[in-house]
Amino acid sequence: RAATRESFTYADQRKVFGDAIAKDSAIREKLAHMAAEVEFLEAQLETITHQFSHFFWGARASKRLLGRCALTKMKATKVLEFCGMHAVHVLGAKGVTRGGRGRIVERIFRDGPCFAIPGGTQEVLAGLCVRQGL
């Protein structure tokens, strides 16, 4: 969400040839894809939270939710990498600068792939999802 927010703010403020870059269709498409991925992920997290709080019925339900949690973590790390990459495209050189305006995007872009490691790599999580029958 932070990379998406930074991208939207920067695209509204950055002017090229007198117009904000947010008016460019390619930039709008990147922003739209980023927002869609983040909103989908948030909805998925709310669904799992609701299921844990209302439908947790023991071992059988916990196995089913385990697969969904793995799927959500797998998607979350992919969305983080996706949004970090597109945010760098929107911010340009500022997106890879450690200080200043692009520091948040740079950190997400640099550290994003590291978040896939704790709790299992993409391949391990995908295997768990398949074994759970998702």
Give the tens place of pLDDT for each residue, 84-122: 889 988 888 777 778 777 778 888 788 877 777 766 677
Per-residue model confidence (pLDDT) at position 133: 67
Q: How far, in Å, CA of 52 to CA of 45, rounded?
A: 11
Nearest alpha carbon to residue 106 among 91, 126, 119: 91
Per-residue model confidence (pLDDT) at position 29: 92
Per-residue model confidence (pLDDT) at position 16: 85
Q: How far, in Å, CA of 70 to CA of 129, rounded?
A: 6
Nearest alpha carbon to residue 110 among 119, 121, 101, 97: 97
Q: How many C-beta atoms lie closer than 10 Å to residue 86's C-beta?
A: 23
The single-letter DSSP state of residue 44 is H
100 contacts: CB under 8 Å, gap ≥ 6? 94
Rounded average pLDDT over 70-79: 87
Q: What is the mean pLDDT of the chain?
A: 83
Per-residue model confidence (pLDDT) at position 65: 80
Q: How far, in Å, CA of 25 to CA of 84, rounded?
A: 19
